[in-house]
Amino acid sequence: MLRPRMLAAAVATAAASTVALLPAQAQAAGSVHLYRVYYDSPGSDTRSNSSLNGEWVQIKNSTSSSVQLKGYTVRDATGYKFTFPSYRISAGKTVKVHTGKGTQSAGHVYWGRGSYVWNNDRDTVTLRTASGAFRDSCSYNSTRYDSKMC
Ligand SMILES: [Ca+2]
Ligand SMILES: [Ca+2]
């Protein structure tokens, strides 16, 4: 039989190893998160639809299961909001939310705007689930680059 002090030490060791496991488990589970924002569309910002679509936010599903994104939202710092249509993102895949108009396809959905949403100097992207739960945010504040890895 363990003496009380040894028992306490054994319990403390067991507790410590449980705590140590949690972050690793959370990492292995992955998440749906922001991956990259391309905020300064290539070339002059002419507001053409192709230029608007050169501006996008990329979202990655790093979980081991596919996720239905319907109702997920992407917002900028001003509060402009994109709400995902029905779109199932496979495990390990990415999807780009283009600013302009277009037809949804694998890896691409379209906000449908007629003007830019991601400021060229600074902005914040926020990703939330359909129920409004915070998932991720990504900020940038430099005109030296055209995009930011989140
Ligand atoms: Ca540009
Ligand atoms: Ca903005």
Expressed in angstroms and rounded, the spacing between residue 149 Cα and the centre of ligand 2 is 17
The pLDDT value given to residue 3? 53
Among all bound ligands, the one having the nearest atom to the CA of 118 is 2
**Centre of ligand 2 from the C-alpha of residue 132, in Å:** 20
pLDDT at position 26: 47
Which residues have a Cβ under 8 Å from the Cβ of 81 and sit 6 or more positions away? 73, 74, 75
In a shared domain, residues 68 and 10: no
- How many structural domains compose the chain? 2
Is 95 found in the same domain as 142?
yes
52-66: pLDDT as tens digits: 999 999 999 999 999
Residue 132 and residue 111: Cα distance in Å, rounded? Answer: 19
Q: 1-15, 43-57, 61-75 — which is least confidently predicted?
A: 1-15
Residue 79 shares a structural domain with residue 94: yes
Range of the domain at 13: 1-29
Q: Quick one: pLDDT at residue 44?
A: 96
Ligand 1 midpoint to CA 40 (Å): 5
My answer on whether 52 and 91 are in the same domain is yes
Neighbours of 127 (CB within 10 A): 24
Give the phi and the psi of residue 47 in degrees, each rounded to 5: 70, 10
- Distance between Cα 36 and ligand 2 center (Å): 15
Same domain, 15 and 54: no
Clarify whether residues 78 and 19 are in a common domain. no
pLDDT at 5: 54
Q: What is the mean pLDDT of residues 23-29?
A: 53
User: Counting ligands in written order, which one lies closest to the CA of residue 121?
Assistant: 2
At 79, list the tokens: 């509060």
Whether residues 40 and 64 fall in one domain: yes
CATH of the domain at 43: 2.60.40.1260
**Ligand 2 center–CA 49 separation, angstroms:** 17
